[in-house]
Amino acid sequence: MPMDVPFSLRRRYPAMVYIGGGMVAVLALVALLAGALAPQDPTFQNPRGITAQGMPVPPGPQFPLGADSLGRDMLSRLLHGARISLLIGVVGTLIALGIGGIAGIVAGYFGGVWDTLIMRATDIMMCFPSLLLAIALVSVLKPGLSNIFLVIGLVYWTGNARVIRGETLALREKDFIAAARAIGASEARILLCHILPNLTPTLIILASLGVANTVLLDAGLSFLGIGVPPPTPSWGTMIAEGQNFFRTAPWMMLYPGLAVLLTVTGFNLLGDGLRDWLDPRQPGRPG
């Protein structure tokens, strides 16, 4: 008879965590080593990258993924673009999670006027489509890396606030919170030592899923020309530059598009896997 294993590997560590985590790890490694892996300077306009007819050179020995319309090496720009996309994705998500987390905890724990004010502000912000709101904010703040961080935080905090508020509402009614109050624990101690630690799994899941949305928003803003200013490599900008060459030089759009697709897929798989693993309400979670 086969040995009875209490928790199968599939249930204890969901496959999605492995696959998504592996994809994210590869992306992080590529971003960290972009300077060493890139065969050329991503901003260098190599004359050999343009044919005699003025067209981008196709993939070959000197340009493994081809060149763009200015003769710049696509592989080098793709690798350095990973660094920019990951930086924006992580920092922007942390800002959105910080704003939304604080707002959600305050609204859910204290309730009353605080809950009404924060949730009504959340409702107003969520009335605007994310991309249109981001375009409006970038137009006011001007394009730039630091402003992109801020715009992403201001656009995506609302969803985080709603989720955290709901979790906090459930936690504040638990017996261990009532016990902490009964022994005289201050509100600050309850929030820091009881509420926040129990919100950690939710924060991790929101962060993983949020990076995917942030990378997509950054690509959309760069595609529209209001993201990270050139000549800094950005996947969205690379896709926009390849529009006019989608017939004659399809690699200019194909490779950055695949990079965005794989990055978003990796973070989504990781977030979904972590949700199934860390959320005790999910069926099949190890107990």
| Residue with more model confidence, 103 or 185 | 103
Q: Is residue 264 part of a domain?
A: yes
What's the pLDDT score for residue 163? 93
Q: Is residue 249 part of a domain?
A: yes
What's the pLDDT score for residue 11? 52
> Which residues are CB-neighbours of 256 under 8 A, at least 6 positions away?
78, 81, 235, 236, 238, 239, 242
Helix, coil or strand: residue 68 = coil
> Cα separation of 271 and 3, whole Å?
32
Question: Tokens at residue 57, please?
Answer: 């050179």
Q: Is residue 262 part of a domain?
A: yes
Q: Is residue 43 part of a domain?
A: no
Radius of gyration of the chain (CA): 23
> Cα separation of 28 and 273, whole Å?
19
Q: In which band, very low, low, confident or very high, does the pLDDT at 187 lie, cut at 50, 70 and 90?
A: confident
Are 77 and 46 in contact, with CB atoms under 8 Å apart? no
Boundaries of domain holding 192 = 29-36+82-278
Share of the chain above pLDDT 90, in %: 36
What's the pLDDT score for residue 144? 80
Are 51 and 63 in contact, with CB atoms under 8 Å apart? no
Q: Is residue 119 part of a domain?
A: yes
- Chain centroid to CA 272: how far? 14
What's the pLDDT score for residue 229? 83
What's the pLDDT score for residue 157? 92
Listed in sequence order, the DSSP H helices in the chain are: 9-12, 15-32, 34-37, 74-110, 112-126, 130-141, 145-171, 175-182, 187-190, 196-223, 235-241, 251-278
Q: Is residue 269 part of a domain?
A: yes
Q: Is residue 47 part of a domain?
A: no
Please list, residue by residue across 96-129, b when 16 or more beta carbons sit within 10 angstroms of its beta carbon and e when fewer do. bbebbbebbbbbbbeeeeebeebbeebeebeeee
Residues 47-62, mean pLDDT to the nearest whole number: 89
- Alpha carbon distances (Å) from 243 to 38, 212, 235, 250, 286: 24, 23, 13, 9, 48
Cα–Cα nearest to 249, from 234, 238, 237, 236? 238
What's the pLDDT score for residue 94? 93
Half-sphere exposure of 222 (CA within 13 A, CB side): 31
Q: Is residue 209 part of a domain?
A: yes
| pLDDT per position as a tens digit, 116-158 | 999 999 999 888 888 888 888 888 887 788 888 999 999 999 9
Helix, coil or strand: residue 153 = helix
Q: Taking 90 as the threshold, does the pLDDT of residue 180 lie above it?
A: no
Cα–Cα nearest to 22, from 214, 275, 266? 266
What's the pLDDT score for residue 1? 36
Domain with 215 in it: what CATH number?
Answer: 1.10.3720.10
Residues 47-75, mean pLDDT to the nearest whole number: 90
Domain count, the chain: 1
Lowest mean pLDDT among 87-91, 98-102, 273-277: 273-277
| pLDDT per position as a tens digit, 2-30 | 444 444 444 545 778 888 889 999 999 99
